[in-house]
Amino acid sequence: MSIILQDLHCFYRYQECVENFKSKSVKSFSQLATSKQEHLSLSLYNIFNSDFPRKDKVLNCLFTDDSAILTQGSNIRFIIKTLQSQLDSIEYWCTKWRVAINTDKTKAILFPMGHSSKALKTLSFMEEDLPWENQVKYLGLILDSKLSFRQHAKYNSDKFWNKVHLIIPLIGRHSPLSLNNKVLLFKQILRPILTYSAPILCITANTHKTKNNILQNKILRIVTNAPSFERNDAIHKNVKIEMIEDHVKNISRKFFTQLQNHKNSLINGQVEYSHKNGKYPYPYSTTKWSLSLKPP
């Protein structure tokens, strides 16, 4: 509580300085107070969510305006009953604190281990029914009921080409920019689209990985104005860009390395995740266990 009071005192001092002085002499203090405001906003947000409904069998995933609740079990009836109980608690909490929920964007999805022809009981939230969907979008990642990420790969491909059409005058064959600037635009604008959610992309089917390689090969040929007979690996070597699959592995490796010393126990525990899924020796085996991890 004392830290919050200090932050509030610093915030009001900052507002007073801005109103009274508005000079360059308070620039350094302004930067300090801005960082204090960020810390204060995080503290106030945690206080506001301190009484958010929690249950032993439910995992709450709260990230800015995208939230999700997760539960698992061997009995579908138990899963639906647990989710409905949590939804009722959240509805009471939202009504109490006057938090508006967009029910049109609220979706329900089940990730079954096998196939079932039984009709699932519909969940209800805010006096509206939540039908079970085959796919949902959370934090920019499209999750389908089979976790094949086929729709996410298609969505990424469409998003990639839409962005290409916008910047093609800058990276095209007739662009006045130098090759270094074209490559820089590719690294800053286009490649992040292909590498989004890199740790998950490593366990997708090889078909989706091949599509990402094809997308990068095509755009690099346009950027470098390479002839049709030049090999793709030669183009990558000339512009000093690694293959997209190798780049994804390096990003994933860096991600898992940073988890080792993370203060949050839930995040740190992901490093020890070693559940066998049948198809791969371990999840993320192409990034975590095939490459030796070194402490950051």
Query: What are the pLDDT tens digits along the chain (296 aa)?
Result: 555 555 555 555 544 544 444 444 444 444 544 555 566 777 777 777 888 999 888 988 888 788 899 998 888 899 999 999 999 999 999 999 988 888 888 999 999 887 777 788 999 999 899 989 999 999 889 999 988 889 999 999 999 999 999 999 999 988 999 999 999 999 999 999 999 988 777 778 888 888 999 999 999 999 999 998 999 999 999 999 999 888 888 888 888 778 777 787 767 776 665 444 555 444 444 444 344 433 33
Contact 28, 101 (CB under 8 A): no
Contact 163, 156 (CB under 8 A): no
Calpha distance 42→73 (Å, rounded): 34
Query: Could you say which DSSP state residue 49 is in?
Result: T
Calpha distance 209→215 (Å, rounded): 10
Count H helices and E strands in the chain, helices first.
11, 8
Please give the full DSSP string across 208-266, using - where no structure is assigned: HHHHHHHHHHHHHHHHHT--TTS-HHHHHHHHT---HHHHHHHHHHHHHHHHTT-S-HH
Contact 222, 173 (CB under 8 A): yes
Phi, psi (deg, nearest 5) at residue 142: -90, 120
What CA dihedral angle connects 246, 287, 112 and 157, to 10 degrees? -20
Contact 56, 15 (CB under 8 A): no
User: In this structure, which amino acid lies at residue 112?
Assistant: P
234 CB contacts (<8 Å, ≥6 apart)?
Answer: none
